[in-house]
């Protein structure tokens, strides 16, 4: 028996090398090893800025990037120290805790920091319970209830909710005074299937996305309308001026500044010049809001994050300038100036496999929504690298119907419960969790989840499954090269 | 307005109001899994119930669509596993997605996409099936090779434009057959690596009848000062900034008989339906007799000028 097995291995292994199409099975190669974001010099704590920022053009901009990077990593407290304002409800106490993989600014890390929130005293165990969906090695999560609850605790399907239900409260912390809030009833929400999740979107290269003119996106939409894969698509438009919004899982945020201000408010409970009021839970907002003893816990009034008017004089003028903006402004600037991930030409699977995979990716129709390159950004008044650049984000920034299998029944702006932005794929090779809720770490699962009733991507997923295993492996290798 | 029609409008208004919320107003208990309950802009209809393009169905090895008058018998070995998305704001429909019943036949598997493009609302500049297929050809990526350029053919006793291309990398072929019905281009796309299966699927289109009898005359941009005698503009209160493509059927007396919203938020649909129910047209005369007419209107924002021209 062992001789037969050995013979089979001897015969099959070389054949699989010569004829990839008869490889035994296709599989996700996993997180790509090698330089972080494909960039030499990048580390987990120090992702690289855009080239022109790295060369400090214009003078002083590197200080803004570095200062923003620092603030992105600050751990906020409720009322002590310089970095205060956390809560009264929050999902975590820093941006970089969740935007961490493969570097600061990325997505969910392998070890979920929320799992340690109580043991590390970020949330008090006397008043907080770790929900069952927060696991040690699962994704960092934001929870939402699609529907408000009836008085008897059942979901009221006539009352769409969709707002964020922050996981932790500051209650019980030594620096939280007498504020006494309960966590949302996650257990009941799970029992009634009235809960959905979101993972952090990575923000590398986000400034390039922000700097695409609407006309460029509209022209791309028209060109892609001649697809033969059943794909439609629409844009999520800003409710005030009608222009194309582009950030967030449903493209619900117009700009990086709005994105950072909302996240500061929703994920960490910190008010800013963009969102100047504490945010109650959606259910609390329907009632009387937050109790008075949970307001102004930081003790310095609102907004908790504001422009720093009185910055100490510094002989380094650029460093002094970078201290002036509010956190939310510098978060946005940091994200805006982050370099996009660089793809690998040969890892995993070798150059030929990656090249084949890219050709197949286009042939079967993935590129209809995951547009490989959008040319070009508008001229930039911020830094040279943001202007007249090709955006290799692998997204059309449209929202598409993704069907009943991925629908989360949350509406944001013009996006309905089954519509999602084509997730930019740059940097995919070093991501751990996939899809809006991080439900899988396996690219094959993520791809096949694209087909379900009502999905625009069913035909493309069917085309993918029509490929041989070797061809599918090439596509997986290509995706992990990004 | 007849009392029957009034009741239909009232019923539609009630449905629209409910449609803004989730399906199953009286439902309680856990949220059902795998159901889209909260919808954005979606398709709907008001007025007299006549068939809609998206109402076709796959059953017992065939696809039937009363609006287009299609009956396509592809055989019991084939089925539709996943329904398509709602119509797009550009008037693109996924009518049916046919694949082998035995899902284990995955590698090299053939499948059929039946789609339609409304020529009133298309994002591209095509005016008919030939121009649309030429537009497809012109936007075909470098990863494909053309096997048969757009060619007029006769299939199933109907005029089609056929366009074949393939991907050397994927080993897949695409055979498109496009025909015009009621100011739409209906597209049959056969995808796969097995030419024999594809040929058999195309041959099975032989049983396809002609377009439905009694269908209204379809006329682009029919609504004008010359044809309309009374109109009430809809009051669109909330700016959604989305295009709202609407097909209407005007009866022989010049009243709006049916309204089909390809893509609209419920509040938009209600306001537009309320207004259109009051419109009065001069009857269209065909062969000396008043006739029904089908046309398109764009609400919400004006039709977008095409960024590129054909040829």
Contact B82 A458 (CB under 8 A): yes
Q: What is the pLDDT of residue B105?
A: 54
Q: Is A364 on the interface with B (CB under 8 A)?
A: yes
Q: Is A362 on the interface with B (CB under 8 A)?
A: yes
> Is B290 contained in some domain?
yes
Name the domain count of chain A.
1
> Is A243 contained in some domain?
yes
Q: Which residue has the tokens 């059943």?
A: A230
Please tell me the distance from the alpha carbon of residue B254 to that of residue B267, in angstroms, as a whole number: 26
Strands B293-299 and B217-218: parallel
> Is B306 contained in some domain?
no
Residue A299 φ/ψ, nearest 5 degrees: 80, 5
Calculate the dihedral angle through the C-alpha atoms of A57, A60, A65, A71, rounding to the nearest 10 degrees: 180
Q: Is A320 on the interface with B (CB under 8 A)?
A: no
Starting at the edge strand found earlier in the chain, the sheet holding B62-65 runs B57-59, B62-65, B70-73
> Is B240 contained in some domain?
yes
* Tokens representing residue B70 in the block: 């299609």
Q: Which residue has the tokens 């699927």?
A: B201
Cβ–Cβ < 8 Å for A421, A236: yes
- CA closest to B144 among chain A residues: A363
Cβ–Cβ < 8 Å for A470, A20: yes
Residues B127 and B234 in one domain: no
Residues B124 and B184 in one domain: yes
Residues B83 and B185 in one domain: yes
Residues B186 and B236 in one domain: no
Strands A419-421 and A155-160: unpaired
Residue ending a domain, among B207, B225, B250, is B207
Question: Which residue in A192, A225, A456 is closest to B124 by CB distance?
Answer: A225
Contact list, A232 vs chain B (CB under 8 Å) = 85, 87-90, 92
- CB neighbours of residue A119 within 10 Å: 10
Question: Which residue in A367, A454, A466 is closest to B109 by CB distance?
Answer: A466
Q: What is the pLDDT of residue B240?
A: 86
Q: What is the pLDDT of residue A23?
A: 43
Domain region containing A392: 205-252+343-481
Residue ending a domain, among B161, B182, B207, is B207
> Is A305 contained in some domain?
no
Question: Which residue in B28, B107, B187 is closest to A468 by CB distance?
Answer: B107
Residue ending a domain, among B159, B183, B207, is B207
> Is A236 contained in some domain?
yes
Residues B262 and B197 in one domain: no
Cβ–Cβ < 8 Å for A88, A104: no
Q: What is the pLDDT of residue B1?
A: 37
Q: Which of A193, A135, A214 is nearest to A167 (CA)?
A: A135
Q: Which of A474, A465, A358, A477 is nearest to A21 (CA)?
A: A474
The CATH number for A465's domain is 1.10.760
Q: Which residue has the tokens 């009857």?
A: B283
Q: What is the pLDDT of residue B25?
A: 44
Residues B10 and B100 in one domain: no
> Is A237 contained in some domain?
yes
> Is B56 contained in some domain?
no
Contact list, A475 vs chain B (CB under 8 Å) = none
Compute CA distances B307 → A226, A255, A465, B168, B184, whole Å: 13, 25, 34, 31, 21
Residues B107 and B182 in one domain: yes
Interacting residues of A218 by C-beta distance below 8 A, sequence separation 6+: B304, B307
Q: Which residue has the tokens 């009694």?
A: B214
Residue B191, strand partner residues:
B111, B174
Residues B107 and B154 in one domain: yes
Contact A454 B308 (CB under 8 A): no
Please tell me the distance from the alpha carbon of residue B281 to that of residue B292, in angstroms, as a whole number: 11
The CATH number for B92's domain is 3.40.1000.10
Q: Is A28 on the interface with B (CB under 8 A)?
A: no
Cβ–Cβ < 8 Å for A460, B97: no
Q: CB-based burial of residue B244 (10 Å sphere; 0-12 exposed, 13-18 middle, 19+ buried)?
A: buried
Q: What is the pLDDT of residue B304?
A: 57
Residues B98 and B184 in one domain: yes
> Is A47 contained in some domain?
no
Q: CB-based burial of residue A411 (10 Å sphere; 0-12 exposed, 13-18 middle, 19+ buried)?
A: buried
Would you give per-residue pLDDT tens digits along chain B (311 residues)? Answer: 344 444 444 444 444 444 444 444 456 789 999 999 999 999 999 999 999 999 999 999 999 999 999 999 999 999 999 999 999 999 999 999 999 988 665 566 889 999 999 999 998 889 999 999 999 999 999 999 999 999 999 998 899 999 999 999 999 999 999 999 999 999 999 999 888 888 888 888 876 776 788 899 999 999 999 999 999 999 987 778 999 999 999 999 999 999 999 999 999 999 999 999 999 999 999 999 999 999 999 998 765 555 443 33
Would you give per-residue pLDDT tens digits along chain A (482 residues)? Answer: 445 444 444 444 444 444 443 445 899 999 999 999 999 999 999 999 999 999 999 999 999 999 999 999 999 999 998 899 999 999 999 999 999 999 999 999 999 999 999 999 999 999 999 999 999 999 999 999 999 999 888 999 999 999 999 999 999 999 999 999 999 999 999 999 999 999 999 999 999 999 999 999 999 999 998 899 999 999 999 999 999 999 999 999 999 999 999 999 999 999 999 999 999 999 999 999 999 999 999 999 999 999 999 999 999 999 999 999 999 999 999 999 999 999 999 999 999 999 999 999 999 999 999 999 999 999 999 999 999 999 999 999 999 999 999 999 999 999 999 999 999 999 999 999 999 999 999 999 999 999 999 999 999 999 999 999 999 999 999 999 99
Q: Which of A87, A89, A93, A165 is nearest to A133 (CA)?
A: A165
Q: What is the pLDDT of residue A241?
A: 93
- CA closest to B143 among chain A residues: A363
Question: Which residue in B23, B123, B172 is closest to A222 by CB distance?
Answer: B123
> Is A180 contained in some domain?
no
Domain region containing B107: 73-207
Interacting residues of B19 by C-beta distance below 8 A, sequence separation 6+: B39, B42, B44, B266, B269
Please tell me the distance from the alpha carbon of residue A7 to that of residue A15, in angstroms, as a whole number: 13
Residue A316 φ/ψ, nearest 5 degrees: -90, 100
- CB neighbours of residue A444 within 10 Å: 17
DSSP 8-state symbol, A299: S
Identify from B37, B110, B112 which residue to disrupt to test chain A contact, counting A C-beta atoms within 10 A and taking the largest count.
B37
Q: Is A373 on the interface with B (CB under 8 A)?
A: no
3-class SS letters over B160-228: EEEEEEEECCCCEEEEEEEEEECCEEEEEEEEECCHHHHHHHHHHHHHCCCCCCCCCEECCCCCCCCCE
Residues B200 and B221 in one domain: no
> Is A172 contained in some domain?
no
Q: What is the pLDDT of residue B210?
A: 67
> Is A461 contained in some domain?
yes
Name the domain count of chain B.
2
Contact list, B53 vs chain A (CB under 8 Å) = none
Kindly write down the DSSP assignment for every residue of A85-112, as one continuous string: ---SEES-S-HHHHS-BSSTTSB--SS-
Identify from B14, B27, B38 which residue to disrupt to test chain A contact, counting A C-beta atoms within 10 A and taking the largest count.
B38
Identify from B19, B20, B85 which residue to disrupt to test chain A contact, counting A C-beta atoms within 10 A and taking the largest count.
B85
Residues B153 and B266 in one domain: no
Q: Report the phi/psi class of residue B162: left, alpha or beta, with left for phi > 0 and alpha for psi in -120 to 50.
A: beta
> Is B309 contained in some domain?
no
> Is B64 contained in some domain?
no
Compute CA distances A435 → A44, A196, B226, whole Å: 22, 12, 53
Please tell me the distance from the alpha carbon of residue A231 to that of residue B278, in angstroms, as a whole number: 35
Please tell me the distance from the alpha carbon of residue A44 to that of residue A42, in angstroms, as a whole number: 7
Q: CB-based burial of residue A333 (10 Å sphere; 0-12 exposed, 13-18 middle, 19+ buried)?
A: buried
Residue A446 φ/ψ, nearest 5 degrees: -65, -40
Residues B250 and B228 in one domain: yes
Please tell me the distance from the alpha carbon of residue B254 to that of residue B252, in angstroms, as a whole number: 5
Q: How far is A416 from chain B (nearest CA, A)?
A: 4
- 3-class secondary structure, B152: strand
Please tell me the distance from the alpha carbon of residue A32 to that of residue A38, in angstroms, as a whole number: 9
- 3-class secondary structure, A84: strand
Helices (H) and strands (E) in chain B, counts: 4, 19
Give the A:B interface size as CB pairs under 8 Å.
211
């Amino acid at each position: 028996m062992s001789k037969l097995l050995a013979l089979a291995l001897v015969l099959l292994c070389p054949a699989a090398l010569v004829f990839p199409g008869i490889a035994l099975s296709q599989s996700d190669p996993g997180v790509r090893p090698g330089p972080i974001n494909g960039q030499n010099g990048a580390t987990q704590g120090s992702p690289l800025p855009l080239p022109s920022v790295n060369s400090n053009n214009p003078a002083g901009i590197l200080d803004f990037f570095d200062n923003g990077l620092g603030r992105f990593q600050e751990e906020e407290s409720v009322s002590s120290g310089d970095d205060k304002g956390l809560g009264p409800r929050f999902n975590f106490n820093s941006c970089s805790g969740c935007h961490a993989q493969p570097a600061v600014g990325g997505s969910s890390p392998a070890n979920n920091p929320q799992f340690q929130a109580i043991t590390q005293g970020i949330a008090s165990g006397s008043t907080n319970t770790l929900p069952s969906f927060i696991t040690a090695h699962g994704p960092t999560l934001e929870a939402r209830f699609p529907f408000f609850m009836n008085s008897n605790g059942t979901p009221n399907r006539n009352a769409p909710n969709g707002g964020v239900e922050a996981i932790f409260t500051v209650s019980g912390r030594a620096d939280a005074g007498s504020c006494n809030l309960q966590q949302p009833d996650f257990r009941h929400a799970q029992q009634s299937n009235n809960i959905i999740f979101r993972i952090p979107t990575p923000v590398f290269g986000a400034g390039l996305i922000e700097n695409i003119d609407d006309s460029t996106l509209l022209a791309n939409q028209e060109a892609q309308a001649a697809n033969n894969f059943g794909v439609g698509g629409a844009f999520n438009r800003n409710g005030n001026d009608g222009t194309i919004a582009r950030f967030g899982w449903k493209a619900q945020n117009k700009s990086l500044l709005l994105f950072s201000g909302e996240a500061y408010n929703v994920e960490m409970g910190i008010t800013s010049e963009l969102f100047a009021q504490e945010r109650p839970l959606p259910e609390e907002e329907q009632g009387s809001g937050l109790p008075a003893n949970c307001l102004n816990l930081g003790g310095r009034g609102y907004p908790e994050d504001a422009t720093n008017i009185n910055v100490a004089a510094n002989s380094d003028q650029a460093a002094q300038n970078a201290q002036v903006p509010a956190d939310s402004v510098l978060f946005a600037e940091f994200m805006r100036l982050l370099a996009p991930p660089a793809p690998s030409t040969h890892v995993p699977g070798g150059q030929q496999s990656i090249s084949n995979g890219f050709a197949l990716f286009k042939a079967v129709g993935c590129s209809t929504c995951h547009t490989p390159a959008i040319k070009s950004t508008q001229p930039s008044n911020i830094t040279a690298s943001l202007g007249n650049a090709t955006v290799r984000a692998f997204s059309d920034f449209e929202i598409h119907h993704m069907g009943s299998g991925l629908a989360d029944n949350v509406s944001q702006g013009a996006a309905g419960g089954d519509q999602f932005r084509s997730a930019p794929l740059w940097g995919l090779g070093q991501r751990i969790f996939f899809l809006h809720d991080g439900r899988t770490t396996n690219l094959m699962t993520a791809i096949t989840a694209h087909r379900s009733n009502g999905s625009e991507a069913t035909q493309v997923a069917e085309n993918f499954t029509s490929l041989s295993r070797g061809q599918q492996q090439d596509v997986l290798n290509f995706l992990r090269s990004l | 307005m007849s009392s029957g029609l009034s009741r239909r409008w009232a019923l539609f208004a009630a449905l629209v109001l409910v449609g803004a919320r989730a399906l199953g107003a009286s439902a309680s208990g856990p949220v059902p899994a795998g159901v889209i309950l909260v919808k954005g802009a979606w398709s709907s209809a008001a007025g007299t119930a006549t068939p809609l393009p998206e109402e076709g169905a796959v059953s017992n090895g065939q696809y039937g669509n009363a609006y287009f008058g299609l009956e396509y018998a592809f055989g019991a070995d084939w089925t539709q596993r996943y329904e398509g998305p709602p119509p797009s704001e550009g008037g693109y429909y996924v009518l049916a997605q046919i694949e082998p019943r035995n899902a284990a036949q995955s590698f090299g598997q053939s499948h059929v996409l039946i789609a339609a493009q409304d020529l009133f609302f298309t994002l591209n500049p095509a005016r008919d099936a030939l121009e649309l297929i030429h537009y497809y050809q012109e936007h075909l990526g470098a990863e494909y090779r053309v096997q048969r350029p757009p060619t007029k053919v006769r299939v199933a006793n109907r005029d089609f434009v056929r366009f074949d291309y393939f991907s050397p990398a994927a080993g897949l072929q695409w055979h498109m057959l496009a025909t015009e019905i009621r100011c739409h281009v209906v597209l049959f796309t056969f995808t796969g690596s097995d030419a024999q299966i594809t040929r058999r699927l195309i041959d099975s289109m032989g049983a396809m009848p002609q377009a439905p009898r009694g269908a209204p005359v379809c006329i682009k941009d029919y609504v004008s000062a010359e044809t309309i005698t009374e109109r009430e503009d809809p009051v669109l209160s909330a700016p959604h900034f989305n295009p709202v493509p609407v097909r209407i059927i005007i009866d022989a007396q010049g009243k709006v008989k049916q309204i089909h919203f390809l893509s609209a938020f419920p509040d938009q649909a209600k306001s537009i339906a309320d207004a259109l129910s009051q419109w009065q047209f001069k009857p269209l005369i065909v062969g000396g007799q008043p006739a029904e007419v089908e046309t398109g209107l764009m609400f919400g924002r004006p039709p977008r000028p095409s960024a590129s021209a054909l040829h």
